[in-house]
Amino acid sequence: MNVLVKIIISSLAVYLTAWLLPGADITDYVAALWVAIVLALLNGFLKPLLVLLTIPITIFSLGLFLLVINAAIILLGSYLVDEFFVDGFWWALLFSLVLSILTSIMESLGGKKKSTNRA
């Protein structure tokens, strides 16, 4: 899927998630677009480093510590984008779970192109 399409889908999911959860607030769709871009950058650059640094606790917690890392990424995104607000760790954790579910649903609705191999 194209990167631009993924950012648009993510921004729609961010906007919808903030609308659904009372512990999260976003001003408008442009802010949701910025949040999607910031989260994509944080997930691309910072998250792998955090995962690498926390391997022992992640193994000990059977992978549940990755949820903490996701919540921390959401809180950092909330700090970096002024128009986006999440009210604490637990709301950030719930935001990341709902955002993941909505993004997966929206991307699956987009569908994949079927390749036709003709011999």
pLDDT by residue (tens digit) across 16-75? 999 999 999 999 999 999 999 999 999 999 999 999 999 999 999 999 999 999 999 999
pTM: 0.89
In sequence order, what DSSP letters do the residues of 79-109 get, joined into one string? Answer: HH-TTEEE-SHHHHHHHHHHHHHHHHHHHHH
Residue type (1 letter), 66: L
**Hey, what's the torsion of the CAs at 22, 24, 28, 29, to 10 degrees?**
-110
Helix (H) / strand (E) containing 61: none
Q: How many Å is the Cα radius of gyration of the chain?
A: 16
| Confidence bin at 110 (pLDDT 50/70/90) | confident
- Over 70: is that where the pLDDT of 118 sits? no
Contacts of 101 (CB under 8 A, 6+ apart): none
pLDDT grade, residue 91 (50/70/90)? very high
pLDDT score of 114: 55
Q: How many residues does the chain have?
A: 119
Contact present, 38 and 77 (Cβ < 8 Å)? yes
